[in-house]
Amino acid sequence: MTYDSTDGANGGPGGTGGGSRWHVPAEDLRAYARGELAAPMLWSADTHLTACAHCRGVLAEAADPVALDAGWERLDAELDAPRPGFLESLLLRLGVADHTVRLLAATPVLRRSWLVAVVAVLLLTVVAGRSGATTGSPTLFLALAPLLPLLGVALSYGPALDPTYEMAVVAPMPGFRLLMIRTVAVLGAVLGLNGLATLALPWYGAAALAWLLPALALSATGLALAARLGPVLAPSLVGGGWITLLLVARTGREAVTDPLAPFTAAGQGVSALVAVLAAGLLFLLRDRFDLNRARGAGGGSGGGGTA
Amino acid sequence: MTPTVSASGLSLHFGGTRALDEVSLRLSTGVTGLLGPNGAGKTTLLRVLATAVPADRGVFTVLGHDPGTSRGRQEVRRRLGYLPQAPGFHPDFTAFEFVDYVAILKELTDRTARHREVRRVLDEVGLTGVRGKRLRKLSGGMRQRTALAAALVGDPAFLVLDEPTVGLDPEQRMRFRELIAHAGEGRTVLLSTHQTEDVAMLCNRVVVMAAGTVHFDGTPAELTAQAGGRVWSSAERDPGAKAGWRTGLGTFRNVGDPPDGADLLEPTLEDGYLLTLDGIGGVGGLGRGGGFGAEAAA
């Protein structure tokens, strides 16, 4: 865009022009008023007009008042609009609706759980690699990997962990929908990272993927139980149950080199069945997420009792 | 006229604690103040009426819908504005982003219309100038106004405000009262507060709760009248008074049952409120010779 400091049509440089020496050419201002000025000149004009009273005055004379109001509203909207981060931009390009992206990306709880999961997975990868190098088995990796999505999901929603939970629970958007949006995001991220960690263990072949079905089973069970037990107790019980199961399986196996029962073909089948049943139960109990689980906690995060 | 809220026999227990006990209430357009000491059940009642928690017993409708059903609850929530006692914030959000987030939760999915509505409510609470600031950098009063803006998104017919002026300095409190008074025009507002001044300045109706039950339901003038002829001045503290304290004038202001010939004073809303609570088991109220009960004065 060209700015002309000597353009008589613009009233000349400086003067009462809001302290700006440069002004938008009158022709561009007329195009701007008609809504016909194209980017990037449009962006430059937007930026300049916010700081230059002179050009705003010229624009006001050139513009249809209705069109001008609409232009200001559009400008206001653009200035106010939250700036999408990298992930949000990516999701928007993939066709995800703007409001869904905001729900996903503008949730610090989710980000925190995300970071926790990332760090844990990275540590896990290192530990699993070392473990595999000495025992010839990915058992530790397979045991811990299913807990990560369970942890991530547990951290993404609930009265104790979401500062806006009380406002969200009385909003017309169904709590189950919000829960599912966040769950999909967390599962997508953590399962993806688990998958990358699996790729770092190529010598185990498909056996290194035996965490996937248990991960889905634990996450679905944790969510289903959360409908009745709340978002802290339910995943804690499920995680504890998983560890107990592995310890029992470890005690019961015939040889140290045998895979633990959950990682055998039969165990994988059981995991798949549990995942499906838990998902069904979760769907049946979906309305329970529309009410505050912490009935006596004054709204959860705030914690005020029965004031 | 159909009341905005019609509740009968609402009860709710948390374990062994009786939070609400047979509460009956009808609310219509205007600002209703909900007064009561800590533990009176104010927040619980607000949360029940805001559909956050279900009651154990009782029937009630909000805006003509039954919040006990999934469909009715959704309908109520579409026309409800709720400012919780301790509204949570994502501190990295700007004021605009926070209200925008709540607007999405309120099913405003069209981006342009939603942003227009966000700007409208931020303007209504006087935060247009700081809409781009991070919440963690705003004062407590501004954060509270941001939460009020979020509650006002969608122009709700029923506004539930749980102690919105707590923690605010006098100037902020006055500013907030102006906002609530404005918000109460044409709406039903239920305002929980510890501040009798809030009720005196804002409300056309007041409900006093203690121990989970309603003990008074009327106009602020009627609550004040409860203390009519029961507040008097004396040079020394009257030993027969339920409470008495030295005022800035050097005389004592006594509340209770005055002796014959006492120099009666004009009662205030607070006098009426404290005398209403007096004698309610487990609440505190006025202790004879011991001044105001700590809980009642809190």
Give residue limits of the domains in chain B: 1-79+156-218, 87-154, 223-297
What percent of chain A is predicted at pLDDT more than 90? Answer: 16
Residue A6 has pLDDT above 70, yes or no: no
H or E, element range at B285? none
pLDDT tens track for A264-287: 899 999 999 999 999 999 999 888
Residue A198 tokens read as: 């699996």
Instruction: Give the DSSP per-residue string, B184-212.
Output: TTTSEEEEEES-HHHHHHH-SEEEEEETT
Residues of A in contact with B106 (CB under 8 A): 171-173
What pLDDT sits at residue B290?
41
User: What is the rounded CA–CA span in Å between residue A10 and residue A58?
Assistant: 7
* pLDDT > 70: percent of chain A: 73
CB contact under 8 A, B88 and A166: yes
Cα–Cα nearest to B29, from B145, B223, B149, B159: B159
Check whether A87 has a pLDDT greater than 90.
Answer: no
Nearest Cα of chain A lies from the Cα of B137 at a distance, in angstroms, of 17
Interchain proximity A106–B39, CB inside 8 Å:
no
From chain A, the residues in CB contact with B89 under 8 A are 163-164
pLDDT given for residue A225 in this prediction? 92
Write down the pLDDT at residue A126. Answer: 58
Q: Which residues does A33 contact at the CB level (< 8 Å), separation at least 6?
A: A59, A62, A63, A64, A67, A68, A71
Distance (Å) from the C-alpha of residue B51 to the closest C-alpha of chain A? 6
How high does pLDDT run on average in chain A? 76
User: Strand, coil or helix: what is B128?
Assistant: helix
Locate the chain B residue with the closest alpha carbon to A107. B90
Interface A-B: count of C-beta contacts within 8 A: 146
**A307 to B40: CB separation less than 8 angstroms, yes or no:** yes
Confidence band of A306 (pLDDT split at 50, 70, 90): very low
pLDDT at residue A98 above 50?
yes
Q: How far is B87 from chain A (nearest CA, A)?
A: 7
Confidence band, pLDDT 50/70/90 cuts, at residue A305: very low
Closest CB to A167 among B40, B150, B212: B150
> Contact B88/A302, CB-based, under 8 Å?
yes
Find which of B101, B116, B166, B295 to mutate to test the A interface (most A CBs within 10 Å of its CB): B101
Which residue in A176, A175, A126, A116 sits closest to A147, CA to CA?
A116
What pLDDT does A56 receive?
A: 84
pLDDT at B35: 95
Q: Which residues of B touch A287 (CB under 8 A)?
A: 70
Residue A172 to residue B105, Cβ atoms within 8 A? yes
SS3 of residue B74 by DSSP: helix
Strands B243-246 and B252-255: antiparallel
Q: Which residues of chain B have pLDDT under 50?
A: 282-283, 288-298
Neighbours of B172 (CB within 10 A): 17
Measure B62 CA to nearest chain A CA, in Å.
13
pLDDT of the residue at A33: 80
Q: Which residues of A touch B (CB under 8 A)?
A: 73, 76-77, 79-82, 97-99, 102-103, 106-108, 162-174, 178, 287, 290-292, 295-296, 298-299, 301-307
For chain A, the straight-line distance linking the first and the last C-alpha, in angstroms and rounded, comes to 61
Nearest to A190 by CA among A158, A212, A159: A212
| CB-neighbour burial class of residue A95 (10 A; exposed 0-12, middle 13-18, buried 19+) | exposed
**A288: pLDDT strictly greater than 60:** yes
Answer yes or no: do B111 and A98 touch at CB < 8 A.
yes
Q: Average pLDDT for residues A89-113, to the nearest whole number? A: 75
Inter-chain touch B70–A290, beta carbons under 8 Å: yes
Q: Show the 3-state SS of chain A.
A: CCCCCCCHHHCCCCCCCCCCCCCCCHHHHHHHHHCCCCCCHHHHHHHHHHHCHHHHHHHHHHCCHHHHHHHHHHHHHHHHCCCCCHHHHHHHHCCCCHHHHHHHHCCHHHHHHHHHHHHHHHHHHHHHHHHHHHHCCCHHHHHHCCHHHHHHHHHHCCCCCCCCHHHHHCCCCCHHHHHHHHHHHHHHHHHHHHHHHHHCCHHHHHHHHCCHHHHHHHHHHHHHHHHHHCCCHHHHHHHHHHHHHHHHHHHHCCCCCCCCHHHCHHHHHHHHHHHHHHHHHHHHCHHHHHCCCCCCCCCCCCCCCCC
Helix then strand then coil, in percent of chain B rounded to 5, is 35, 25, 40
Instruction: Tell me which residue has tokens 């009720």.
Output: B199
Q: Select B1-79+156-218's CATH number: 3.40.630.30, 2.140.10.30, 1.10.10.10, 3.40.50.300.
A: 3.40.50.300
Distance from CA of B19 to the nearest CA of A (A): 6
More reliable by pLDDT, A256 or A301: A256
pLDDT score, position A8: 38
**Is residue A149 within 8 Å of residue A183, measured between CB atoms?**
no
Distance CA B156, CA B154 (A): 6
Coil vs helix vs strand at B33: strand
Which chain B residues touch A79 with a CB distance below 8 Å? 132
A142 CA to chain B: closest CA distance, Å?
35
Q: How many CB atoms lie within 10 A of CB B261?
A: 7
Model confidence over A159-202: pLDDT tens digits? Answer: 767 778 888 889 998 888 888 888 888 888 788 878 877 777 77
In the prediction, which pLDDT does A15 show? 39
Name which of B70, B85, B101 is nearest A102 (Cβ-Cβ). Answer: B101
Distances (CA, A) of B141 to A215, A218, B125: 45, 43, 11
Q: Please judge whether A173 and B50 are an interchain contact, meaning their C-beta atoms are less than 8 angstroms apart.
A: no
Contact residues on chain A for B118, CB-CB shorter than 8 A:
80
Answer whether B100 sits within 8 Å of A97, measured CB to CB: no
Confidence class of residue A227 from pLDDT cuts 50, 70 and 90?
Answer: confident
Q: How far is CA B94 from CA B113, B114, B129, B138, B146, in A?
A: 19, 16, 12, 9, 10
Q: Residues A264, A267, A269, A271: what is their CA dihedral angle, to the nearest 10 degrees?
A: -130
Predicted local confidence at residue A289, as pLDDT = 82
Highest mean pLDDT among A80-89, A119-128, A141-150: A141-150
**Among A108, A301, A147, A142, residue whose Cα is nearest residue B91:** A108
In this predicted structure, what is the pLDDT of residue A304? 31
> Which of A170, A178, A298 is nearest residue B85 as measured by Cβ atoms?
A298
Q: Quote the ipTM score.
A: 0.80
Position A298 scores a pLDDT of: 45
